[in-house]
């Protein structure tokens, strides 16, 4: 049975550096877990619907995340936290609604002062929703975007074993 990786990007700008980092990380996670990566859930594409509680499109997206085995949940850092867009999407789940999901929180950060924000803001939200978060979150410095392969390889080298043990 093949496992699946969902990628959720909470950047209000489509095709962002945050998306690229998330997709590159998901590809590395797929390599070490033998999983398939789903089509990215780009929340910038559903900004007009994110507050509509009756939305077939959002119901489909929330189901794709909830039924995945792994997820990379990525957002740029806004005011030392995740975006309101990502929060609005995750608010569609009840407490425990992501039970069984192994999640990797990712922040793209513009300042080293925000390095811990991924651990202190997004991790607790994912845990509250029932996801398991066995790795350190990735605080990716956008100033080092061109060095992302090395940064992601280092993250996988230090954290990847926790993902393979979690299943």
DSSP labels, 101-129: -EEEEEEEESSGGGTTHIIIIIHHHHHHT
- Residue partners of 53: CB distance under 8 A and separation at least 6: 92
Tokens at 167, concatenated: 């299943």
Q: What's the pLDDT at 136?
A: 97
Query: What's the CATH class of domain 4-153?
Result: alpha beta
Q: What's the pLDDT at 53?
A: 86
32: region left, alpha or beta (phi > 0 left; psi from -120 to 50 alpha): alpha
Query: What does the domain layout of the chain look like in residue ranges?
Result: 4-153
Q: What's the pLDDT at 90?
A: 98
**Please, which pLDDT band fits residue 137 given cuts at 50, 70 and 90?**
very high
Q: What's the pLDDT at 165?
A: 84
Residues in the chain: 167
């Amino acid at each position: 049975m093949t496992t699946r990786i969902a990628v959720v990007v909470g950047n209000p700008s489509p095709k962002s550096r945050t998306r690229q980092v998330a997709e590159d990380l998901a590809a590395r996670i797929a390599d070490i877990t033998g999983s398939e990566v789903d089509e990215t859930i780009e929340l910038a594409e559903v900004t007009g619907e994110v507050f509509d509680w009756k939305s077939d499109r959002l119901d489909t997206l929330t189901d794709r995340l909830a039924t995945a085995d792994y997820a990379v949940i990525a957002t740029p850092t806004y005011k030392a936290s995740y975006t309101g867009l990502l929060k609005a999407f995750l608010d569609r789940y009840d407490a425990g609604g992501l039970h069984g999901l192994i999640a990797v929180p990712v922040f793209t950060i513009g300042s080293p002062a925000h390095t811990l924000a991924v651990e202190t803001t997004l991790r607790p939200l994912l845990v509250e929703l029932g996801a398991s978060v066995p790795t350190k979150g990735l605080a990716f410095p956008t100033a080092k975007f061109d060095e992302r392969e090395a940064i992601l390889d280092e993250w996988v080298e230090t954290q990847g074993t926790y993902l393979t043990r979690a299943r």
